[in-house]
Amino acid sequence: MSHPAFSVPATTTPDPASDAVQVVIRTPALAEVRIVHGGDQPATIGTVRLTHDSWCWAHNDGEQSSPIAPTRLAAAKALAEYHRAYKPKRAEASMRQLLDAARVR
């Protein structure tokens, strides 16, 4: 049975930087983390999970943290920092340009 508070995913935007971070709560102990580049559609970069009273993150590339954060939001911010540091925007921009070019044809 689903708890009414979690029947509709909640979304928060913790980071007002140019790449906004969205946290989509899936269960009380699991949330999906998305990043928005400018006006683009949100892209899922990974998840945060409650483990042993602390939050950890897992990036889509397989990299994971140990339990590092006291809150879901702090773990989501740490995941976004990892993503920004190790996943350059240039590759994403190039892919977007290729997709846009393919749509024109």
Per residue in 33-89, pLDDT (tens digit) is 999 877 778 999 999 999 989 999 999 999 999 999 999 999 999 999 999 998 866
The rounded distance, in Å, linking the Cα atoms of 65 and 78 is 9
Question: How high is the pLDDT of residue 9?
Answer: 40
Number of helical (H) and strand (E) elements in the chain, helices listed first: 2, 5
The rounded distance, in Å, linking the Cα atoms of 35 and 83 is 9
User: Is 6's pLDDT higher than 80?
Assistant: no
More confident residue, 22 or 102: 22
The rounded distance, in Å, linking the Cα atoms of 25 and 42 is 15
Mean pLDDT of 92-99: 62
Give, as one character, the DSSP assignment of residue 7. S
Question: How high is the pLDDT of residue 92?
Answer: 57
Provide the residue type at 34 as one letter: R
User: Is 4's pLDDT higher than 50?
Assistant: no
